[in-house]
Amino acid sequence: MILTISTTHRPATDLGFLLHKHPERVQQFDLPFGEAHLFYPEASETRCTAALLLSIDPVGLVRDREGGTLYPYVNDRPYAASSFMSVAITRLFRSAMRGQSKERPALVDQPIPLVAQVAAVPCDGGLALLTKLWEPLGYTVEAQPQPLDPARPTWGMSPYVTLTLRHTLRLAELLTHLYVLLPVLDNRKHYWVGDDEVEKLLRVGEGWLDAHPERELISHRYLKGRRRLTEMALARLLPEEEGAEDGSQEEALVRPQRLHEQRLDRVAALIRNSEAVRVLDLGCGEGHLLERLVDEPRIQALVGVDVSSRSLQQAHRRLGLDRPRPESNRITLLHGSLTYQDERLRGFDVAAIVEVIEHIDPSRLDSFERAIWAAARPRRILLTTPNAEYNVRFPALPEGEFRHADHRFEWTRDQFRQWADAVASRHGYQVEIEPLGPVDEEVGAPTQLAIFTDREATA
């Protein structure tokens, strides 16, 4: 909410000429989200400090918007330094950022000793992130942390700090760095980020962003994590490195991805190599399995079911159902739940239930069992679930924790076998279980796959 900029350049009051704001005046500016106040706590020959104080209207943030629930009333926005501060910087210091000064044209190009202090800077990445972002630009960084609640010492430290930056550089550079990096630290831009935001970033980042070791993180957060925009920005920042592999972070993302791809590929292959013409994907999510089956001409009905309307919307787009093609009418997406019986799910040759049951509360498994094995009764069921024994092979996974926060349980091979056998015998299916993924001698494969076959349908 407050940014102060000080200099000890002589005469220090030249800061007023650089900022285009008179050191002896207190000024107020109206902004869409509140008011900005500009005043000078100090203005002497030896030291001059300009203060930009934001008074953000918390009630207006909630009420002035259509639909109005973007922000709660209980909100750190009035106090945190965020994209609101960036907006204020461009509104109040536009000419200074461009390096224009009628009265002191020479001074704009001259590095001068500057100290910026900002409070409160939200920094969920800890103090390390502060130094990673500012030190490569030459700043001396000082951060004063704040406890989460002084009356509750056990709650530890809050993510907010008072940040002090010292450097000798052009004022325009300081303002530009603040303009870009404050929202990057906050990581909660208050406005919609579109394609033009890429242009803006490249413009203000000119001359420093391409050489910044954290340029990817900066682009990613500045563009609100929108992957396509981030790629656009990076491609233009680093044209010569195009296509280069990004190191460790990519790796970490790719490995679990590969496991899931493997599961889907295996299940899709089993379905393709069967005689199935009516195929059900229970818990289809965003449609990754359906996508693998869309082009199989033998399948006449491909039905995806999910309990999340959001996932179904994404599946709808992924499968191109918003641009209907002739084969689209073989595909149906249904909003449904696997703990209710559902007439629409009857009469299928095969049902895939990939990484779904571990998201069902154990107390609801009997309803799930009856809804699928007794009521829907597909001829074959391909069901996968994690093998809990394999978890020791994931170094990043703390012992005793599940692979996903929403997993209600993860079964060992024995537990899965027992459950599958019991279900099969209760409902007249036979079941075979096979490992899925690389088999470890000691703990088995990461995923286990059960194939249930209706005894009557095969007889």
Partner 1 sequence: MKIEIPELALVLLIGPSGAGKSRFARDHFLPTEVISSDDCRAWVSDDPTDQSATEDAFDLLTTIARKRLARGKLTVIDATNVQPEARKPLIELARSYHVLPVAIVLDMPVSLCLRRNQLREDRSLGPHVVRNQHNQLHRSLRGLKREGFRYIHHLTSPEAVESLSITRQRLWVNRRDDAGPFDIIGDVHGCFDELHALLDALGYQVTRHDEEGEPRFEVQPPAGRRAIFVGDLVDRGPDSPNVLRLVMEMVEAGTALCVPGNHDIKLLRALQGRRVKIAHGLSQTLDQLQGESVAFRKRLIAFLDGLISHYVFDEGKLVVAHAGLSEALQGRASRWVRDFALYGDTTGELDEFGLPVRRDWAARYRGEALVVYGHTPVAEPRWLNHTVNIDTGAVFGGALSALRYPEQAVVSVAALRQYAVPPRPLSGDADLLSAQQQDDSLLDLSEVTGKRRIETELQGTVTIRAENAAAALEVMSRFAVDPRWLIYLPPTMSPSKTSQREGLLEHPDEAFAYYANAGVTEVVCQEKHMGSRAIVIVGRSEAAIQQRFGLPEAAIGICYTRTGRRFFDEPALERAFLHRLQAAVGAAGWWDQFESEWLLLDCELMPWSAKAQGMIREQYAAVGAAARTALPTAVAALQTAQARGQDVAELRRRFDAQQGMIEAFSAAYRRYAWPVEGVDDLRLAPFHLLATEGVLHSDKSHLWQMESLSELTRQPDPLLHPTAYRLVDLTDDGARAEAVAWWEALTDAGGEGMVVKPMPFIARGRRSMIQPAVKCRGRDYLRLIYGPTYTEPANLARLRQRGLGRKSALALREFALGMEGLARWIRREPLRRTHECIFGVLALESEPVDPRL
Site for partner 1 in 23-52 (CB under 8 A): 24, 26, 37, 39-43, 49, 51
**Which of 8, 75, 425, 430 touches partner 1 (CB under 8 A)?**
75
Site for partner 1 in 264-283 (CB under 8 A): none
174 three-class SS: helix
Structure token pair of residue 426: 């209760």
Site for partner 1 in 88-117 (CB under 8 A): 117
Site for partner 1 in 140-159 (CB under 8 A): 146-152, 154-155, 158-159
Binding-site size for partner 1 (CB under 8 A) equals 71
Binding range to partner 1, per CB under 8 A, among 61-69, 98-106, 415-423, 440-448: 61-69
Site for partner 1 in 173-232 (CB under 8 A): none
421 three-class SS: helix
Place of tokens 């809990």: 388
Q: Which residues pair with 38 in a beta bridge?
A: 27, 52
1 three-class SS: coil
Site for partner 1 in 404-423 (CB under 8 A): 406
Binding range to partner 1, per CB under 8 A, among 251-259, 264-272, 316-324, 331-339: 331-339
CB neighbours (10 Å) of residue 135? 12
Q: Which helix (H) or strand (E) is 55 found in, with range?
A: strand 48-56
Q: Which amino acid type is present at position 193?
A: V
**Which of 29, 79, 208, 402 touches partner 1 (CB under 8 A)?**
79
Q: Is the bond into 244 cis (omega within 30 degrees of 0)? A: no
**Which of 73, 395, 398, 442 touches partner 1 (CB under 8 A)?**
73
Work out whether strand 2-7 and strand 112-122 pair parallel, antiparallel, or are unpaired. Answer: antiparallel
Site for partner 1 in 286-325 (CB under 8 A): 307-309
Distance of alpha carbon 220 from alpha carbon 442, whole angstroms? 41
Distance of alpha carbon 268 from alpha carbon 289, whole angstroms? 7
Site for partner 1 in 333-392 (CB under 8 A): 335-343, 359, 361, 363-364, 366-367, 370-371, 374-375
Q: Which is nearer to partner 1, 198 or 360 (CB)?
A: 360
Length of the chain: 459
We find the least distance from the C-beta atom of residue 401 to partner 1, in angstroms, to be 14
